[in-house]
Amino acid sequence: MDFGEMFDDVRRMNKRQLFYQVLNFAIIVSSALMIWKGLMVVTGSESPIVVVLSGSMEPAFQRGDLLFLTNYKEDPIRVGEIVVFKVEGREIPIVHRVLKVHEKENGDIKFLTKGDNNSVDDRGLYAPGQLWLAKKDVVGRARGFVPYVGMVTILMNDYPKFKYAILAALGLFVLIHRE
């Protein structure tokens, strides 16, 4: 089926069928958003699922592994724990292990991270002048993972044409199997 036939099929739909297709799509999108927001509430994390984008945590995590996160504020941060954090000025969160923790008497906690596969700590990744991370920088803590499931995300980011090919294939699939 070529694109001309596909658009002819869309034109032949009556208004009720087209409205039904749009409504189905809206229900799918809103369901996905509700599931995501529900996961955010249950896990306490603004991003309950993340993909490992680099090899800095090998051998613990490989590029493309999907991590499940929690971020309960009452849980203390401990040395050896794997955290996902955001640094001011960087959009993409970083997945690294806690190397050192400094806890003050007033309860403030500062900590230093490092990738398992890196030779130096992360101070070079932090914002200029920042030597330690605080709890506010933590997006979540790794609680589980599924290997390589996130490779699709990496492929779509590294090869934008691949993203459009997948979207076109999904659109074609929906049009062919709409009955």
* Other beta carbons less than 10 A from residue 83's beta carbon: 24
Question: Could you report the per-residue pLDDT of 22-44, keeping only the tens digit for each?
Answer: 898 899 999 999 999 999 999 99
Active site residue 56: yes
Catalytic residue among 45, 56, 65, 137: 56
Q: Above 70 in pLDDT, residue 3?
A: no
Q: Which residues of 134-165 are buried (b: 16+ CB within 10 A; e: fewer)?
A: ebebbbbbbeebeeeebeeebebeeeeeeeee
Catalytic residue among 45, 65, 96, 137: 96
What is the per-residue pLDDT for 6?
Answer: 57
Active site residue 65: no
**Band of pLDDT at residue 107, cut at 50, 70 and 90:** confident
What is the per-residue pLDDT for 171?
Answer: 78
Q: Above 60 in pLDDT, residue 134?
A: yes
Active site residue 177: no
Catalytic residue among 54, 119, 121, 122: 122
Contacts of 173 (CB under 8 A, 6+ apart): none
For the domain 49-147, what is the CATH code? 2.10.109.10
Question: Could you report the per-residue pLDDT of 61-91, keeping only the tens digit for each?
Answer: 999 999 999 999 888 999 999 999 999 888 8
Q: What is the pTM of this model?
A: 0.77
* CA atoms of 89 and 82, how far apart (whole Å): 22
